[in-house]
Every structure is written in C-alpha cells, then in structure tokens.
A = this chain, B = another copy of it.
Amino acid sequence: MQIKNLFTTLAGLIACAALSAQEKLVSPVIGEREVTFSMYAPAAREVSVHGSWMDPDDNCYGTPVWTSEIEVVKMKKDKTGVWSCSIPLPSCDLWTYNFYVDGVYVLDPNNKFVQWDGTRELSVLLIEGDVTKNFTGATRHGNVELVWYDSPTLGQERRMMVYTPYGYETCNKPYPVLYLLHGGMCDETTWDNMAQATAILDNRIQKGEAEPMIVVMPNGNPSQNAAPYKFFANEDRNEALTRERNAYVNSLVMDIIPYVENHYRVIPDKAHRAVSGLSMGGAHTLAVTAAYPDVFDYICPMGCGGNRSEDFLAGIQGIKKAGYKLYWHAAGTADFAHPGAVVLDEILTENGMPHTFYEKNGGHTWSNWRIFLDTMLPLLFR
C-alpha cells in the first residue's frame, strides 16, 4: 500500500475551505422548548424569519416574498453583528423557512439543508416526532432512477423518476406499481425532493407496513421533457402542448405504463396498479381513472375535487361500473380544494361507491402531502 503520502496533497484543499467566522455560527439551534435562528449581517438594517409553521393553512406553493405581506418574527442584532431570535418550538414536522434581510428573501447561510420546491430554495427545519417518524431512520433503501422513455403521444423523449424497493435487484418476484403524480410548478423530482417520498417508502416497507412496490413519478407538465432549472435544453417550449393536458393523461396510459411494464419486473394488471397525485396530479388522477376505468384498482387523489358536470359524473359512474379495490381521497380542511373534495365525497356516496375521504387540518401544503402519502401507502395492494 503506497497510499499514505498522497494525502498530504489534500491538506491544501482542506485549508482552502477554511470557514470564515460567520460560517461558524450554528443555525437553527433546536432546544427543548424553542428554536433559535441566527445570522451574521452587520450591515443589515432589518432581519426577520418566516417559517411554514406560521401558516399551516397556506394555500400557495410560492410564499410571497415581501415581509409586509406575511407573518415574520423580527431578529435582533448584537454588538458583533449577529442577528438572532428564539421562537417556541413548532410542532413536529419537516418545516421550511427563510430570512428577510432588508426586505429580500435569503436562505439561512448556516443551514446547508435546503429543498427546492419547483419555484425556490427553502431552508429546512426538522422537528422530530410522531409525524416525522417515517422521514428518517430506514436502513434498507430502494434505488431511484431518472429514466428517459419515448412518448409518442407527446412527441418527445421524456424523463421520469422510478423507485425500486430494497431487494428488487436480488429477488425474482414481480412487484405492484404506484403511479405518483406531482402538482403544478413541480416536476418528476418533486415528490422525492419535497415530500421525502423515497424515505417514507423505505420506512413503511422496511417496517412491513406497506407492500414492497415500484413507484413511478412522471413529469406531468406536457411542455417539459424533464425537470427544468438543473440542466439545459430540456424544455420543449411548445405552447400548444402546454395546453394539451388531456394528451399528458393519455400518455400516462399509452406511453408510461407500457414502458414500465416492459422494463421493470412488475405485475401488469389492474389489481397491481395504483394511481395517486397531489393538486394538479390529483386532477390528473381523476382524469386518468375517468378516461381509463379499467387500468387502476387503487385510486387516491389528494388536494383536488369533483364537480357535478355531466362529464365528471359519467367518469365516476364509469369507474363504478368497471370496479375498483380502493377509492381513497384526501384534503386539508383549509385547502382551497377542500370544497371540491367534499363534492367528490358526496358524489361517491350518492353513487353507492365505497370510499374513504381522509380529512385533516391544514392547507394545500407539503406537510399534508407527506402525511397523505404516509397514510395511504399501507392501504395499497392489500
């Protein structure tokens, strides 16, 4: 072994990374009863913090940027130029937050944990507890693949994320498949980025609480072929296609399912296919099951609703006629889509269709999408 001396070279690299004084601050500091945020900003006039725990009924993905429009907690400057504030410990959840420096949106520079929600980066605050127990701790991990497939329906090569559970590589058994659809302003990576979908799957499967399953997360924006903003030349920018939402729904059944069933070891029948989605993905779930009632036995739209149009009612009746094993839908009671979800619940009841309407507090939020996913997984393929 002649390795040892080579690493003297590394000393230079490490010295180069020497942290400046302000980077040695720790923020956030999670105590027993409070959380303390801090930031070095000697030249700033006003620094404050806004966090998602301040508005669990939030109905927008994109939080407004300006302090005048939203609730903030002001931070105070000490004589060394460090601003800080302590707030009572929020309830357990994966929260996100940011600072405002003289009115401008800023990440916490001392917190390397950030999440991209499709429109912006957010600093992350994890308060561990019952709600978060499936976000951490799995020791058996599934793999995640970013896969390009041909979509003749949309006239593009497109990208999707595919989760294969722990053990997929080493066993011969075929798996059921959940098609998990994202919302507006999101892409094929967002369920995993924002909802810890992979971690929740790993945990539920490792604990024996969910069937091992493959999870397919397509890109639901027909004018994109893959997640924008992280690499180049991946947007089709076909305006006509943007409007063709039906075409995307058709491509799910005509292009994506055949690709998955040809390339992965799956059980290719209705009893082993589930579809779920949040918000726009919930609308896609309603649409694809109405248009193709013979494809999915497990139907789980979230944060979206029904209506009493002739088309919608005919779609629901088609699902009833074709049969299904689970109809489970979910909405936060403060979600702007909640009234529509109530209508969906009523329509299913009026049609004598067994179903569960899972309601809880909160709005159109990632906090709720995570809980809905975690709650739904044990119900599938059982």
Residues of A within 8 A of B (CB): 1-10, 12-14, 16-17, 19-20, 22-23, 39, 41-46, 59-62, 64-66, 101-107, 109, 112-116, 119-121, 126, 135-148, 157, 159, 166, 169, 183-185, 193, 196, 198-199, 228-233, 245-246, 249, 263, 279-280, 283, 286-287, 290-291, 304-305, 307, 309, 311-312, 314-315, 318, 336-337, 340, 364
Task: Assess the B16–A290 pair: CB atoms within 8 A.
Answer: no
Of the listed residues A16, A305, A307, the one surrounded by the most CB atoms of chain B closer than 10 A to its CB is: A16
Q: Which residues of B contact A107 (CB under 8 A)?
A: 107, 121
Q: Which residues of B contact A7 (CB under 8 A)?
A: 245, 283, 287
Q: Assuming A16-B60, A23-B65, A112-B119, is B139 touching A1 (CB within 8 A)?
A: no
Task: Assess the B102–A309 pair: CB atoms within 8 A.
Answer: no
Q: Name the residue of chain B whose CB is nearest to the CB of A39.
A: B104
A283 to chain B, nearest CB (A): 5
Q: Which residues of B contact A17 (CB under 8 A)?
A: 60-62, 119, 184-185
State the oligomeric state as a number of copies: 2
Task: Assess the A290–B337 pair: CB atoms within 8 A.
Answer: no
Task: Assess the B312–A10 pair: CB atoms within 8 A.
Answer: no
Q: In the complex, what distance in Å separates the CA atom of A132 from the CA atom of B279?
A: 38
Q: Name the residue of chain B whose CB is nearest to the CB of A170.
A: B263
Q: In the complex, what distance in Å separates the CA atom of A10 from the CA atom of B143?
A: 32
Q: Which residues of B contact A336 (CB under 8 A)?
A: 12, 16
Of the candidates B22, B185, B229, the one whose C-beta lies within 8 Å of that of A65 is B22
Q: Name the residue of chain B whose CB is nearest to the CB of A259.
A: B169
Of the candidates B2, B109, B139, B279, the one whose C-beta lies within 8 Å of that of A290 is B2
Q: Which residues of B contact A148 (CB under 8 A)?
A: 141-143, 166
Task: Assess the A4–B311 pair: CB atoms within 8 A.
Answer: yes
Q: Which residues of B contact A135 (CB under 8 A)?
A: 232
Q: Which residues of B contact A144 (CB under 8 A)?
A: 145-146
Q: Which residues of B contact A66 (CB under 8 A)?
A: 20, 22
Task: Assess the A4–B246 pair: CB atoms within 8 A.
Answer: yes
Q: In the complex, what distance in Å separates the CA atom of A147 from the CA atom of B166?
A: 10
Q: Name the residue of chain B whose CB is nearest to the CB of A62.
A: B17
Q: In the complex, what distance in Å separates the CA atom of A114 from the CA atom of B116?
A: 10
Q: Which residues of B contact A12 (CB under 8 A)?
A: 336-337
Task: Assess the B104–A41 pair: CB atoms within 8 A.
Answer: yes
Task: Assess the A287–B6 pair: CB atoms within 8 A.
Answer: yes
Task: Assess the B45–A3 pair: CB atoms within 8 A.
Answer: no
